[in-house]
Structure 1
Amino acid sequence: MNIPSKKECFKLIKKMTMMDHIIDHSIMVSNVALFLSLKLKKHSPDLDSRLATSAALLHDITKTRSFDTKENHSETGGLMLIKLGYPEVGDIIRQHVILDSYEDNSRVSVEEIVNYSDKRILHDKVVSLNKRLEYIEVRYGASKEFKNRIQTMWKNTLELENKIFCQLDIKPNQLSACVSKKIKKEDWI
């Protein structure tokens, strides 16, 4: 499996001229993904923390340009990483908005960790799932189609939160206290 290093991730972020606030968001998503993947290793020893961290850092790699192009940034970001030789990372990025499937009785996957981690970060802060999803609803829920997608995503993400935290010794509201800014963009750019 080919996984870009943190340094390679930040080179790509710089090349794509990502907006600073999207970089800050991606760093915090990566910090949450790292924390969760390390904590969940006890129950899912095959979890790859490097894969989770890299995919989380790059999950919004095409988001800045999507403001102009109106492209689906999860799809185009996933395709970009696949074309760059990182198919596993690309598949995770493709699923960071909506997972291909939601299975309650399977082990927690890296795709689920990155998807969930993204849902817990509002800008660059760890927030409750409700606060983040309310923001998504206000920001993206203009059309009936998007409102329906958001409601489905909300339900699925609440179930995913239960799946993740039933295996941990902390509650969802304690996540913020457990995650710090371990990676700073100044260290890499």
Structure 2
Amino acid sequence: MNASKTPPASGLDMCSPLPAPPPMVHDPGLPVPDESRCMEHWSAFAMLENVAAHSLVVARVATFLAVRAREMGMAVDVPTVRASALLHDIAKSYCIRHGGNHSQLGGAWTVALTGNPAIATGVTHHVYWPFALNLADYFTPLAVIYADKRVRHDTLVSIESRFRDLGDRYGVSEPIRQRIEITRVQAVELETLLCDTLEVDLNECAFDCGRVV
């Protein structure tokens, strides 16, 4: 079971020049909001209904991955992964209205709301992970990245379908199209890594694990 992969080389380097953060070890002393509390945060920040619907499906996918990882013996905290997925677009509606980077702003808000950096890291990095893909050390952000890349609006789709939509909607310049392609390549590599590590074909998966948390 190989739970890590080095980032690919590319003409447009989006990898961080800094070392990766320390491995994320679940701290039982840190608070983890449940779904009801996350929805209260959505309301407090006036989340749009379509963004909320998207977030619920992303959380469904991420939760499935977390449950499966636990079944495979990985040290993954399912409620932490689910909370991070539920909050990954906490700043999306604000940035639609006022501008700004919704992942960076959302990560900052999530730290303030939860006091839990593991949850916030999944929010900050849900668009792209600028380090090596290492599921053993960084399962939460990588699960949220992958889940987000499998949900177009509130519908489960393939990665290729999701990125065609992203290109159609946001690919207005060559640099943006290059960044979208880099994130697509990472999503495909992450999917392969997850399939191999979790021993499941994610393209044949309904991501239905019931009410597990």
| Superposed pair shares fold, TM > 0.5 | yes
Post-superposition offset of 1:27 = 0.3
Tell me the equivalent position of 1:33. Answer: 62
Match of 2:156 in 1: 126
1:5 aligned onto 2:18: no
Cα shift at 1:108: 6.2
Residue-by-residue CA offset, 1:62-98 (whole Å, 9 max, x unaligned): 1011112221000000001112223221111000001
Would the aligned equivalents of 2:133 and 2:142 in 1 still touch at CA under 8 Å?
A: no
Alignment match, 2:191: 161
1:82 match: 111
Tell whether 2:51 aligns with 1:22: yes
Shift of 1:44: 4.9
Closer, same or farther: CA 143–180 of 1 in aligned 2, 3 Å: farther
Verify: 1:111 aligned to 2:138, yes or no.
no
> Residue 78 of structure 2 aligns with which residue?
49
Give how far 1:182 is off. 5.8
Q: Which runs of 5+ in 2 are unaligned?
A: 1-29
Q: Distance in 1 between matches of 2:141 and 2:135?
A: 15
1:4–1:86 CA contact under 8 A, matched in 2: no
Q: Distance in 1 between matches of 2:158 and 2:85?
A: 18
Residues 102-155 of structure 1: CA distance to partner in whole angstroms, max 9, x if unpaired? 336856611100110000001111111110111111111112221111111111
Asked if residue 170 in structure 1 is aligned to residue 203 in structure 2, the reply is no
Question: Does residue 61 of structure 1 match 2:90?
Answer: yes
> Which amino acid is 2:144 matched to?
V
Find the aligned partners of 1:136 and 1:23 in 2 and give their Cα distance: 19
How far 1:178 moved relative to its partner? Answer: 3.6
Q: Distance in 2 between matches of 1:151 and 1:97?
A: 12
SS in 2 for 1:111: helix
Deviation at 1:167, TM superposition (A): 2.4
AA aligned to 1:153 is T
Q: Which amino acid aligns with 1:75?
A: Q
- Consecutive aligned runs of 4 or more in structure 1 exceeding 4 Å deviation: 104-108, 180-183
Q: For 1:79 and 1:146, how far apart are their aligned partners in 2?
A: 24
**Unpaired runs of at least 5, structure 1:** 184-189
Query: How many Å separate the matches in 2 of 1:105 and 1:95?
Result: 14
TM-score by length of 2: 0.79
Question: How large is the RMSD of aligned CA atoms in angstroms?
Answer: 2.0
1:178–1:55 distance in 2 versus 1, CA, 3 Å: closer
Identical positions, percent: 27
Distance in 2 (alpha carbons) for counterparts of 1:65 and 1:181: 31
Query: Higher helix share goes to which structure?
Result: 1
| Count of residues in correspondence between the two structures | 182
CA contact (8 A) 1:6 1:54 kept: yes
Report SS of the residue matched to 2:198. Answer: coil
Q: 1:182–1:139: structure 2 CA closer, same or farther, 3 Å change rule?
A: farther
Judging changes above 3 Å, is the alpha-carbon distance between structure 1 residues 142 and 104 closer, same or farther for their aligned structure 2 residues?
A: same
Greater mean alpha carbon deviation, residues 2-11 or residues 153-162: 2-11
- Paired residue type of 2:83: S
| SS in structure 2 at match of 1:4 | coil
